[in-house]
Amino acid sequence: MNRRDLLRAAGALGAMAALPGGAMAQRNLEGAFPTPTKKYRRITTEEAFATLPQLNGFRDIGKYLDSGSDLSFTQTLLGDSSYARDMTPRLLNLGEGRIKEMDEGGIAMQVLSLTSPGVQMFSPDTAVAIARESNDILAEAIRKYPTRFAGLGAMAPHDPKRGPAEMERAIKQLGLNGFIVNSHTDGGYLDEQRFWPILEAAEALDRPIYIHPRSLPETSLAPFRPYGLGGASWGYAVETGTHGMRLLFSGVFDRFPKLKIILGHMGEGIPYWVYRFDHMYNTAKRNWGTGSLKEAPSFYLKRNMMITTSGMFSEPVLKYCMEVVGVDNILFAADYPYQDNREASAFMDAAKISEADRIKMYSGNAERVFHLKV
């Protein structure tokens, strides 16, 4: 797909959405969902978009890399499968086509983030440039639709000077609401000291970092590769959950006590393990003198992390998480366009929970952590 094709794809969304059996048909295969009521301000918080600079970067990287799970995903978006013909224009659309789908799903506002793996496959120079261009495109969309869009700024985590500088620009000049990092960067994780400038900037700017999945580093991927398990059915959660666990165990939350990290997919499995990892942390500390955290790891999960419902529309999981991490730490999210807005809303509308709790997850918690206008 060349630049002209991309532009054509971007322009085509309106037409595709209007065609019977076009872009919408695939989504209807999920089955019918009840029409969302109008009584809630539903804010979704892990909602993907792409920009032409990013897709051009993906196209260029395909010329000199010849394998890799993330590469495969990005090349799929550039291809001409029916999946790409559906998905890529919707990712690129930051206007009426997207808003029409939000309305169908009862979504008042999307907190947008550059689709995975963001700029993290690119060299620092390219990553810095594409993050900047993409943040400008995002800010322009928010200026045009200030009641419908908010957004997380992209940055190059592997540039310890220009990464934090772009974070400051994103908040102070562009008015964005937080940051997006797509898990590891060249096999490095944010607990490592070389990335602390990113954590320091987020804390200083009082905005959260959303850690979105990408593939495990290729060097670790062998056991996860069969049956497509390296992706959204398992491996993404292993990668991103591991990232979260490293942050919890590393002491970065003692160093940056006001830092907020958000994990999608109901916390990438971490909440399931609260009992065990605290127990094992304490056992190791007692037996071997390891561990120098001021508190047990679960303390930081509750103080410094939030989780979202993206792609996990399961009431048993929701209730479990409300019990172990608390309703104030749970944000509503759909994962548009990869998941269905209407299913997300139908799930949260139907959950047997109190109205006060539902409103916190739909809007109150997001308004607070992202500093959104109420």
Catalytically active residues are 335
Give the nearer residue to a copy of itself in terms of CB position, either 128 or 344: 344
Kindly state whether residue 239 participates in binding a copy of itself, applying the rule CB under 8 A. yes
38, 66, 67, 226: residue in contact with a copy of itself (rule CB under 8 A): 226
313, 332, 336, 370: residue in contact with a copy of itself (rule CB under 8 A): 313
Kindly state whether residue 317 participates in binding a copy of itself, applying the rule CB under 8 A. yes
Kindly state whether residue 204 participates in binding a copy of itself, applying the rule CB under 8 A. no
CB 348, min distance to a copy of itself, A: 14
CA distances from 46 to 15, 214, 361 (A): 26, 14, 13
Interior angle at CA 240, CA 176 and CA 343, nearest 5: 70
Give the nearer residue to a copy of itself in terms of CB position, either 149 or 347: 347
* Binding pattern for the stretch 45-74 against a copy of itself, x by CB under 8 A and - elsewhere: ------------------------------
Give the nearer residue to a copy of itself in terms of CB position, either 177 or 310: 310
Give the nearer residue to a copy of itself in terms of CB position, either 88 or 363: 88
CB 283, min distance to a copy of itself, A: 8
Kindly state whether residue 290 participates in binding a copy of itself, applying the rule CB under 8 A. yes
Give the nearer residue to a copy of itself in terms of CB position, either 19 or 25: 25
Cβ–Cβ under 8 Å, residues 346 and 319? no
Kindly state whether residue 28 participates in binding a copy of itself, applying the rule CB under 8 A. no
Kindly state whether residue 29 participates in binding a copy of itself, applying the rule CB under 8 A. yes
Kindly state whether residue 266 participates in binding a copy of itself, applying the rule CB under 8 A. yes
Kindly state whether residue 224 participates in binding a copy of itself, applying the rule CB under 8 A. yes
Q: By CB under 8 A, which span of 39-47, 59-67, 282-290, 300-308 interacts with a copy of itself?
A: 282-290
HEC-encoded secondary structure of the chain? CCHHHHHHHHHHHHHHHHCCCCHHHHHHCCCCCCCCCCCCCEEEEEEEECCHHHHHHHHHHHHHCCCCHHHHHHHHHHCCCHHHHHHHHHHHCCCHHHHHHHHHCCEEEEEEEECCCCCCCCCHHHHHHHHHHHHHHHHHHHHHCCCCEEEEECCCCCCCCHHHHHHHHHHHHCCCCEEEECCCECCECCCCHHHHHHHHHHHHHCCCEEECCCCCCHHHCHHHCHHHCCCCCCHHHHHHHHHHHHHHHHCHHHHCCCCCEEEHHHHHCHHHHHHHHHHHHHHHHHHHCCCCCCCCHHHHHHHHEEEECCCCCCHHHHHHHHHHCCHHHEECCCCCCCCCHHHHHHHHHHCCCCHHHHHHHHHHHHHHHCCCCC
Kindly state whether residue 229 participates in binding a copy of itself, applying the rule CB under 8 A. yes
Please list, in sequence order, all residues whose beta carbon lies within 8 angstroms of the beta carbon of residue 14, skipping any fewer than 6 positions away.
Answer: 96, 97
Kindly state whether residue 157 participates in binding a copy of itself, applying the rule CB under 8 A. no
Kindly state whether residue 326 participates in binding a copy of itself, applying the rule CB under 8 A. no
Kindly state whether residue 231 participates in binding a copy of itself, applying the rule CB under 8 A. yes
14, 233, 254, 326: residue in contact with a copy of itself (rule CB under 8 A): 233
Cis amide leading into 36 (omega within 30): no
**How many of the chain's residues bind a copy of itself (CB under 8 A)?**
61
Binding positions for a copy of itself, rule: CB under 8 A: 26, 29, 81-83, 184, 187, 189, 191, 216-217, 219-224, 226-229, 231-234, 237-239, 241-242, 245-246, 249-250, 265-266, 269, 272-277, 279-281, 284, 286-288, 290, 311-314, 316-317, 319-320, 323-324
